[in-house]
Amino acid sequence: MELSPELKALIEGLQREIDGLKLQVSSLKQENASLKQEAADLRRQLGKDSHNSSKPPSSDGLKKKPRIAGSLRGAAGSSEKKSGGQAGHKGDTLRRTETPDIIKKHTAENCAHCRAKLDASMVTGVEKRQVFDMPEPRLESTEHQAQIYACDDCHGQTMAAFPEGVTASVQYGPRIKAAAIYLNAQQLIPEDRVAEVMGDLFGAGLLCPASVAAWSAAKAEQLKPFEAHIASLVMQAPVRHLDETGFRIGGKTQWLHSASTLALTHYRVAEKRGAVPTTLAGGIIVHDHFKSYYALQNVKHALCNAHHLRELKALIEIEKEPWAKRMYRVLLKANKAVKRAVEKEMTLLPERVLRRLMALYDGVVSLGLAFHERQPPLLRRAGARGKIPHRPGHNLLIRFRDFKDDVLRFVSNIKVPFTNNQAEQDIRMMKVKMKISGGFRTKTGAETFASLRSVISTARKQDWDILKTLSSRTDALIPALSG
Give per-residue pLDDT as tens, 155-191: 899 999 999 889 999 999 999 999 999 999 999 999 9
The amino acid at 330: V
Is residue 403 located within the same domain as residue 314? Answer: yes
Is residue 393 located within the same domain as residue 457? Answer: no
Domain assignment of residue 210, yes or no: no
As a whole number of angstroms, the distance between CA 339 and CA 411 comes to: 10
Is residue 331 located within the same domain as residue 274? Answer: no
**Which residues make Cβ contacts (< 8 Å) with residue 434, sequence separation at least 6?**
247, 248
Nearest to 471 by CA among 76, 271, 174: 174
Is residue 335 located within the same domain as residue 401? Answer: yes
Residues of the chain with pLDDT under 50: 69-70, 73, 77
Is residue 406 located within the same domain as residue 432? Answer: no
What percent of the chain has a predicted confidence (pLDDT) above 90?
66
pLDDT at 137: 81
Q: Could you list the residue range(s) of the whole structural domain that residue 467 is in?
A: 218-303+421-482
Domain assignment of residue 92, yes or no: no
As a whole number of angstroms, the distance between CA 183 and CA 186 comes to: 6
Is residue 313 located within the same domain as residue 406? Answer: yes
pLDDT at 38: 67
Summarised one tens digit per residue, pLDDT across range 14-65 is: 888 888 888 888 877 777 777 776 677 777 676 667 666 666 666 666 566 6
Query: CA of 210: how far to CAs of 176, 205, 308, in Å?
Result: 15, 14, 46
Summarised one tens digit per residue, pLDDT across range 264-318 is: 999 999 999 999 988 887 899 999 999 999 999 889 999 999 999 999 999 999 8
As a whole number of angstroms, the distance between CA 313 and CA 329 comes to: 11
pLDDT at 166: 93
